[in-house]
């Protein structure tokens, strides 16, 4: 018990002494994740909508994003490094490519799962295809889209930890510095915040997904009552 307490106190003391640097790494980590995910959302949702318009287009787009998803993260970053060079830009492009598949796929699945009766009701009141997409299909598919974002976020947080290998920043710098110097305190100082960030992102987006799902169900029940 005494040894465990000492180990924890050593870790806490190290964090206190280096909190400025660790905070800087933490901000870098979150920034890269947010930019990579943001780009994936901006591109992925329109691609998911495009997939819902044509089955053969969906096969092509999903095939390409599946290939990007299965490429090992380190191999992906190394390939991008040869093209873009060392630095944070390489990491963010890698995160963008890795995050596309869950967002595109879940957007596509969500749009496909919309009850046809809602679409018929919309057409019955004179809605155009664009209005059906914006006012009916997209809102009802939001739980699926957030689910895809949730998966992409957890993957992105993990991938960023290897960013230092291609000249990036983030908490991975502390992890690899600890590995190189055989310093377990530095490894834990980088790994624990990264793990907690992934857990918080998963739980937070999970709560958001459930809230959106409940809201969409209530709206659907209200629409049915009004229709009757």
Burial class of 105 by CB neighbour count within 10 A (0 to 12, 13 to 18, 19+)? buried
Show the tokens assigned to 169.
């920043």
If one compares 200 and 228, the residue with the highest pLDDT of the two is 200
pLDDT reported for residue 133 = 85
Show the tokens assigned to 79.
């390939």
- What gap in Å lies between CA 205 and CA 44, rounded to an integer? 18
- What gap in Å lies between CA 23 and CA 26, rounded to an integer? 5
Tell me the per-residue pLDDT of 147-182, one tens digit each, with 9 for 90 and over: 999 999 999 999 999 999 898 889 999 999 999 988
Per the listing, tokens 């799962």 go with: 113
Contact 152, 106 (CB under 8 A): no
Contact 153, 205 (CB under 8 A): yes
pLDDT reported for residue 200 = 96
Q: What is the DSSP string of 21-70?
A: HHHHHHHHHHHHHHHHHHHHHHHHHHHHHHHHH-HHHHHHHHHHHHHHHH
Show the tokens assigned to 110.
């969500």
Tell me the per-residue pLDDT of 198-226, one tens digit each, with 9 for 90 and over: 999 999 999 998 888 877 666 655 544 44
Buried b / exposed e across 124-148, counting CB within 10 Å, b at 16+? eeebeeeebbeebbbbbbbbbbbbb
What's the chain's average pLDDT?
87
- Residues 16-42 have a mean pLDDT of 94
pLDDT reported for residue 1 = 38
The confidence band for 136, taking pLDDT boundaries of 50, 70 and 90, is confident
- Which residues does 26 contact at the CB level (< 8 Å), separation at least 6? 171, 193, 197
pLDDT reported for residue 63 = 95
Report domain extents, the chain. 2-227
Per the listing, tokens 């190290």 go with: 14
Tell me how many degrees the CA angle 55-61-63 measures, rounded to the nearest 5: 100
**What CATH number labels 2-227?**
1.10.3720.10
pLDDT reported for residue 220 = 53
């Amino acid at each position: 018990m005494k040894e465990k307490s000492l180990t924890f106190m050593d870790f806490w003391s190290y964090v206190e002494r280096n909190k400025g640097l660790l905070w800087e790494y933490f901000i870098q980590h979150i920034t890269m994740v947010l930019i990579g995910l943001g780009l994936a959302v901006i591109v992925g949702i329109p691609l998911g909508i495009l997939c819902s318009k044509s089955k053969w287009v969906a096969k092509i787009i999903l095939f390409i994003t599946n290939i990007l998803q299965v490429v090992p993260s380190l191999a992906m970053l190394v390939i991008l490094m040869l093209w873009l060079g060392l630095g944070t830009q390489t990491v963010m492009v890698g995160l963008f490519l890795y995050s596309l598949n869950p967002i595109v796929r879940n957007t596509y699945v969500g749009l496909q799962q919309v009850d046809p009766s809602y679409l018929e009701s919309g057409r019955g009141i004179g809605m155009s295809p664009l209005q059906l997409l914006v006012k009916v299909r997209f809102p009802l598919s939001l739980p699926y889209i957030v689910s895809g974002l949730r998966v992409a976020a957890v993957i992105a947080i993990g991938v960023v930890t290897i960013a230092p290998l291609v000249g990036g920043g983030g908490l991975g710098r502390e992890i690899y510095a600890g590995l190189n110097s055989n310093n377990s305190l530095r490894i834990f100082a980088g790994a624990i915040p990264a793990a907690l960030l992934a857990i918080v992102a998963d739980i937070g987006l999970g709560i958001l997904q459930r809230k959106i799902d409940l809201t969409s169900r209530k709206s659907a029940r209200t629409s049915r009552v009004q229709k009757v």
